[in-house]
Chain A
């Protein structure tokens, strides 16, 4: 075939579908073929749903023929494996749920289905979304398509790697402390974490319920706007989703950002971050200035250095409560050779959970236990209040804040697995956003090519820029990010895999 389908955006593929140049079934077959080609090297997918995808594609072709097509109709997509898909196993990349087949669809999956989406598979992740590299998957490690010896980021590493490698046009991920944005930055794709409450969490396997959000990973901002419009909105089955109307995000994408105010918080340009990341992001901010934004280069958010500690108390505390449900009784792995019910439960959890999950359950249980609750958990929640107040004050003056997505380019597989704290630090710029419940997007902002260590990656290694917005102001973020992509080509670069 002359068209390289794996390089198209949703919009481009959608116009080919509607003009009849290709059918949804052909597009889906091309996508499945691409998966067969690159999966032996990338390892991004836990499950490929070929049969279901082809039947959804046939349905999409009928919708297109009837003139009832939406831009997402017939477009192959991937779903992170902690988002429930009816009849398709949803493992959370954990031994605990290796054979779990949900009896219902998550709301986001249902909404994509209503638009005639084609689901081609489920993506690998850090076990229960706990991690920053996808190395915590109990199933296998995913490789970064830009350099197979490096991590794709995490926890939505499979989603980011697959979109970068052209295994689908977009993917859904989840973001509790950076799990969409950090892998998006590491794989040179666009990734958005919506405001807490914007997207229903019904059917998302719970990790930290006050922080989790589902969002899209796409090849550009226009596609991101499109997918967000499809999945956002109030849902009676998630009482924390907010009954605000969903804007038509694609129509918000005017490339004029003159007059918008952008702040650059100095606490996000810290000692120890890679020089090339800092240079690339500063250059990208200058580009925004050139495009007409009013940039203030020295903003201060003084509580930022405490966000990481607050997060790693709050998130594990919530996780320890949420993961109490894995007792081997109703679903999931169950240890059978125990002498008593309690022993069965302890052994089920001992053998079903991997090391990082155990670490976080222990940390959270400690922080919630008698005698430590006030000193750790409540203290962290008070710091959370201060972090949010500080953002609110900044947003009285700015339409958006801009930072690097991560302090470094993708690191080597195995580089940080022995040191949990070092791994936690790779989320240092994304975590404050979840603590405050804000929306944020990561977009490609350049490549690091100068480091001798990256010589293997011919094109260099991707660098992400993060834009943080006011609550429910995803439209502003998309607008700024779109203006940047209209003026730059970073997001159009694809890895050779």
Chain B
């Protein structure tokens, strides 16, 4: 099973990952090879086996909804590539 060029480009688009043509070719080879090796998973009989997303049996950890200090805006924005006042600045979403 070999991934097509179109499939690689489709996955890259889902991941919002820009790739050069050379990267597309290389990833096509490498991902195909990796997935081919991982086909062995299909040999395992998993009928009736539930999936495990987490190894510790805890769910819905709750805490009281109390107001507490959070980071001040200056610290939140300190690493911003581009800021505008107290906002993160990005390019227009809708042209």
Interface residues of A (CB under 8 A from B): 99-101, 103-104, 196-197, 210, 236, 239-240, 242, 303, 305-306, 309-310, 312-313, 320, 324, 327-334, 336, 338, 340-347, 349-351, 353, 355, 358-359, 361-363, 365-366, 369, 375-376, 378-386, 388, 420-421, 436-437, 471
Contact = CB atoms under 8 A, between A and B. Distances in A.
B91 A338 contact: yes
B91 A197 contact: no
A340 B31 contact: no
Contact of A361 (B17, B37, B52, B54): B17
Contact of B46 (A99, A210, A382): A382
Interface in B69-84: 71, 75-76, 78-82
Given A306-B41, A328-B81, A386-B49, A358 B23 contact: yes
A381 B53 contact: yes
A478 B50 CA distance: 33
B27 A341 contact: no
A176 B81 CA distance: 30
A330 B53 contact: no
A345 B16 contact: yes
Nearest to B13: A346
A344 B42 CA distance: 39
A362 B58 contact: no
A176 to B, nearest CB: 13
Contact of A363 (B31, B53, B58): B31
Nearest to A236: B63
A50 B59 CA distance: 43
A497 B61 CA distance: 49
A329 B44 CA distance: 43
Nearest to B45: A386
Instruction: Report the 3 A-B pairs with minimum CB-CB distance, sorted nearest first.
Output: A437-B55, A350-B18, A334-B81
B85 interface: no
B53 A346 contact: no
Contact of A366 (B31, B46, B53): B31
Question: By CB atoms of chain A within 10 A, which of B17, B79, B88, B92 has the most?
Answer: B17
Nearest to A386: B49
A106 B54 CA distance: 22
Given A103-B76, A346-B16, A359-B30, A388 B55 contact: yes
B67 interface: no
26 contacts: A100-B79, A101-B79, A242-B58, A327-B16, A329-B88, A330-B79, A343-B18, A344-B90, A346-B16, A346-B17, A355-B23, A358-B17, A363-B34, A365-B11, A366-B11, A366-B35, A376-B41, A379-B46, A383-B41, A384-B51, A384-B52, A385-B51, A385-B52, A420-B30, A421-B37, A471-B55
Given A239-B61, A382-B46, 14 more contacts: A100-B79, A239-B58, A303-B44, A309-B38, A346-B16, A347-B18, A350-B17, A350-B19, A355-B23, A362-B15, A366-B35, A379-B44, A384-B52, A421-B37
B77 to A, nearest CB: 9
B31 A103 contact: no
Contacts of B54: 210, 240, 437
B60 to A, nearest CB: 9
A309 B16 contact: no
B95 interface: yes
B6 to A, nearest CB: 13
B27 A362 contact: yes
A382 B51 contact: yes
A345 B16 CA distance: 7
B58 A420 contact: no
Contacts of A341: 90-93
A61 B92 CA distance: 54
B8 A329 contact: no
Nearest to B95: A340
Contacts of A379: 41-42, 44, 46
B80 A330 contact: yes
Given A313-B38, A383-B41, A384-B52, A349 B16 contact: yes
Question: By CB atoms of chain A within 10 A, which of B19, B76, B81 has the most?
Answer: B81
A331 B49 contact: no
A381 B51 contact: yes
Contacts of A333: 81
Nearest to A341: B91
Contacts of A330: 79-80, 88
